[in-house]
Amino acid sequence: MANKVKNIFRSIGNFLMDNLHQSLHLEYRLLKRGYLLYRHEVLKKGKTFEIYAKDYLAEIYNFSYKNPRELAEKTRIHSKVVDIFTLRPDLIQQYFDKDFDFRFYKQLIKEYDTSEFIPSQVDITDTTHMELAEPNPIVEQFPILDKEEQLAKVRVEILKYESGEKQPKHIGQRMFGYLLKANYFSAYNDEQRNEAWQKFTGLETKPEMSYLRDPSYNKNSIAKEKFSAQLKRIDEFFYLVGLKM
């Protein structure tokens, strides 16, 4: 009886301590939420890891903030969690297949920071293992990003510029201008452009409308070479996420 009571109090203590860690560490809270969904949706309901990851990453992009500083911090943390899921799905499955607490969270982060994902350990020159080698399911589960994921990546990048994490600020607004120009959103006047901007970014601040009307407009007469480099930065980012502008 005494042991049973001790176990109950220990469980309560562990629960309260875990909640404390989640309240103090946003990164852990996001991964803990992902772990609970993984246990329910993948292990219990049989959802594929690819669909589970896609649904969860779409969910965590929705967050509120009190000021630009908090926006920058939350954007940084959310982006890192997205990177862990997309770059190291092997770690997600490895740690989520067992009980996941704050101690294992720290181990996961350490391993993510210090190791690389090696898709296959089989030496392709060794033909004796070719018939035994199985396709790596983790690699196959992460194809080219779909439109929703591409736009989510762009949103995170725009928020980095709006928060001041990246400079100059107008690049993020030009990015959205290119999305409008490519008809990813329907907006035919300044009011609709502003509404589309606020809905996409979640920001209440108004962008410089000239960048949304014509993202290639050199509003402040920036030096030609410098301006070309800024536009090239946007073009390279869109290329990396797979958007054809």
Same domain for 49 and 106, yes or no, is yes
Q: Is residue 123 part of a domain?
A: no
Q: Is residue 178 part of a domain?
A: yes
Give me the helix-helix angle, 224-241 and 170-181, nearest 10°: 60
- Domain end: 66, 91, 113, which one? 113
**Rounded alpha-carbon distances, angstroms, from residue 212 to 120, 134, 175, 202:** 45, 49, 8, 16
Q: Which two tokens stand for residue 96?
A: 């989520």
pLDDT band at 103 (very low <50, low <70, confident <90, very high): very high
Q: Containing H/E element for 96? A: helix 89-96
Report pLDDT digits (tens) over 27-44: 999 999 999 999 999 999
**Rounded alpha-carbon distances, angstroms, from residue 221 to 164, 211, 227, 238:** 22, 13, 9, 24
Report pLDDT digits (tens) over 207-226: 999 999 999 988 777 888 88
Same domain for 162 and 96, yes or no, is no
Same domain for 108 and 160, yes or no, is no
Number of domains the chain is built from: 2
Read off the pTM: 0.50
Domain of 23, in residue numbers: 8-113
Same domain for 66 and 151, yes or no, is no
pLDDT band at 7 (very low <50, low <70, confident <90, very high): low
pLDDT score recorded for residue 131: 41
